[in-house]
Amino acid sequence: MDKEGKHNTTILIVDDLDVNIMLLEEILGSLGYNTRSAMSAKEATDILNEKLPQMVLLDIMMPDINGYEFCQMLKENPHTRDIPVIFVSAAESDDEREKAFEIGGVDFIRKPFDLTEIKTRVSTHLNIYNLRQELEENNRKLNQVISEQNEKILNEKKRILENLVKLSSDVDDMSLNIDNIVRNSRMLTQALNFTDKYENKISEAFIEGVEIAGSIRNINPKIFKIFFTDDETSPTLQAAADVIDYHNERWDGSGTPHCLSKEDIPLAARIVAITETFETYIKSGLSREDAFDKMNADRGVLFDPYLMDLFIKIKKQIKS
């Protein structure tokens, strides 16, 4: 690590003896590192809450919470678990050293302190830590690029499918306001997250899948599978596929293409069945209230009664 890197590196020293802190501060300072110090786990925690260091030198024998317990706390916290912890102790037993490594310590510095040993162990583990941080950042950037590319590909595939749907749709289907079906599908799906049954169980990926399917729900399933054969694990596309395959199923299972009924019908398909039917009724000339009344009469027959009740509950937000 160069001088600039050391100058930007802070090492937290945790020891209940002033003399040990002073010695380590002097040694680390002479090597170019910044230091902060604490005489207890509580003081160390306060410092960590202010700003995270790049390393912790931790004494084993301390009052209240010993070094082992404090290290375990650091490793259980997602914000501090990656910070390298080097134990500092006069203990020489194999059991002490083994325990230090078992709970997440990366190394062990013996008392009395040796300048060469400290320099070697500290610089080695800081270099490893920095390399890991750089690798994680590079992976994050790479994943972001991949995610953006995948989104572009997905949107292009969606656009092509929408055009195919327009070319193959019959006149009745073309008269429907697709934007209303898409918007209402999203509205109903989002509302599920605020119900007792589905609270916090509806992901954004699932909502996106329902939206996509709202506009391409009547495409031939074989064509959809040709386009998305490499994306079968995507929850977004799985939700879309469920709608395309099963949105014509009836809740009571009577006279349906796949003979599914009730909750055997995928949730996404049950949602779009409601929003598509509502739009169909509106386009046929029914008023909003008549459309809601007619659909409510079919709750438990055509539609999932739980979803239908929610649809009526949020009817002021439903677009027509």
pTM of the model: 0.54
What average pLDDT does range 100-119 have in this prediction? 91
Q: What is the CATH number of domain 3-140?
A: 3.40.50.2300
Strand ranges across the sheet with 55-59: 34-38, 10-14, 55-59, 85-89, 107-110
Q: What is the CATH number of domain 169-317?
A: 1.10.3210.10
What average pLDDT does range 189-215 have in this prediction? 88
Is it the case that residue 171 has pLDDT exceeding 50?
no
pLDDT band at residue 159 using 50, 70 and 90 as cut-offs:
confident
**pLDDT, tens digit, 9 for 90 and up, residues 40-90:** 999 999 999 999 999 999 999 888 899 999 999 999 999 999 999 999 988
Q: What pLDDT does 172 receive?
A: 45
Residue 102: count other Cβ atoms within 10 Å of its Cβ.
10
Residues 6+ apart with CB under 8 A from 173: 218
Residues 6+ apart with CB under 8 A from 104: 71, 72, 74, 75, 81, 85
Domain ranges of the chain: 3-140, 169-317
What average pLDDT does range 226-246 have in this prediction? 76
Of 107, 119, 132, give the one whose Cα is nearest residue 33: 119
What average pLDDT does range 203-213 have in this prediction? 85
Same CATH topology for 3-140 and 169-317: the answer is no
Q: What is the mean pLDDT of the chain?
A: 87
| Beta strand spans in 100-202 (E) | 107-110
What is the SS3 assignment for 107?
A: strand
Is it the case that residue 118 has pLDDT exceeding 50?
yes
**pLDDT, tens digit, 9 for 90 and up, residues 277-301:** 999 999 999 999 999 999 999 999 9
